[in-house]
């Protein structure tokens, strides 16, 4: 972690956030979740078109049915809440740019959940069944699934991760 992060809560959150896949049985506080979703909605988007939409799923039967659509079933089942993030195709103006905006939105969501003491993981593997998710939730076809974020009270904070040194990532500096 850089020394700069000590001065910046945003950098601290970026460097400290880890994907959390094990949770306690505790329900998550709705206020904290809504605040995180609000932070997600403050991501930048091309033309400020705000193409993201969210579904909040805490019903055990629905969670279980969604879990059946991914090999990360146990992570979905163990999370108190699932936040499904969609692109509203009717709000979309450029598919790539809208995907990028929704990526930024999901990162905001993860960081905001983290800063509020909640654990979360971005689950993309379920996209192989994205149409089935929309159908299962009874949502209109204009919503395209972008990810499911699993959310809960972390069972522990032992997660570690690594990144390549930044020097290896710079392809031009002149």
Helix axes 95-115, 30-41, angle to 10 degrees: 140
- Min dist CB 173 to ligand FMN, Å, is 25
Determine the size of the site formed for ligand FMN (CB under 6 A): 12
Q: Are 79 and 132 in contact (CB under 8 A)?
A: no
Candidate list 3, 48, 158, 161; residue touching ligand FMN; CB under 6 A:
161
* Chain Cα centroid distance, residue 53: 12
Residue found by looking up tokens 């979360």 in the block: 120
Residue 77, interface with ligand FMN (CB under 6 A)? no
Candidate list 33, 123, 143, 149; residue touching ligand FMN; CB under 6 A:
123
Residue 108, interface with ligand FMN (CB under 6 A)? no
Candidate list 11, 77, 99, 124; residue touching ligand FMN; CB under 6 A:
124
44-73 binders of ligand FMN (CB under 6 A): 72
Residue 115, interface with ligand FMN (CB under 6 A)? no
Report DSSP letters for 60-102, one per residue.
HHHHHHHHTTSTTHHHHHH-SEEEEEEEETTT-S-HHHHHHHH
- Residue 24: other Cβ atoms inside 10 A: 13
Q: Are 70 and 149 in contact (CB under 8 A)?
A: no
Binding string to ligand FMN for residues 130 to 149, with x set by CB under 6 A, is what? --------------------
Q: Are strands 81-88 and 119-123 parallel, antiparallel or unpaired?
A: unpaired
Considering only the stretches 15-23, 25-33, 36-44, 57-65, report the one whose residues sit in contact with ligand FMN under the rule CB under 6 A. Answer: 15-23
- Min dist CB 174 to ligand FMN, Å, is 30
Residue 121, interface with ligand FMN (CB under 6 A)? yes
Q: Are 77 and 110 in contact (CB under 8 A)?
A: no
Residues near ligand FMN (CB under 6 A): 18-19, 21, 72, 75, 121-125, 159, 161
């Amino acid at each position: 972690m850089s020394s700069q992060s000590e001065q910046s809560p945003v950098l601290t959150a970026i460097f400290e956030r880890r994907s959390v896949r094990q949770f306690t049985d505790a329900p998550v506080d709705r206020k904290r979740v809504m605040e995180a979703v609000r932070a997600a909605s403050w991501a930048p988007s091309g033309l400020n078109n705000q193409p993201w939409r969210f579904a909040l799923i805490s019903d055990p039967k629905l969670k279980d049915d969604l879990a059946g659509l991914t090999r990360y079933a146990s992570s979905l089942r163990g999370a108190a809440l699932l936040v499904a993030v969609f692109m509203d195709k009717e709000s979309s103006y450029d598919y790539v740019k809208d995907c990028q905006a929704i990526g930024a939105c999901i990162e905001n969501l993860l960081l905001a959940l983290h800063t509020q003491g909640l654990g979360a993981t971005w689950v993309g593997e379920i996209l192989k069944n994205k149409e089935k998710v929309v159908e299962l939730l009874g949502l209109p076809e204009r919503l395209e699934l972008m990810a499911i974020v699993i959310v809960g009270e972390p069972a522990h904070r032992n997660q570690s991760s690594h990144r390549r040194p930044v020097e290896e990532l710079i392809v031009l500096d002149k």
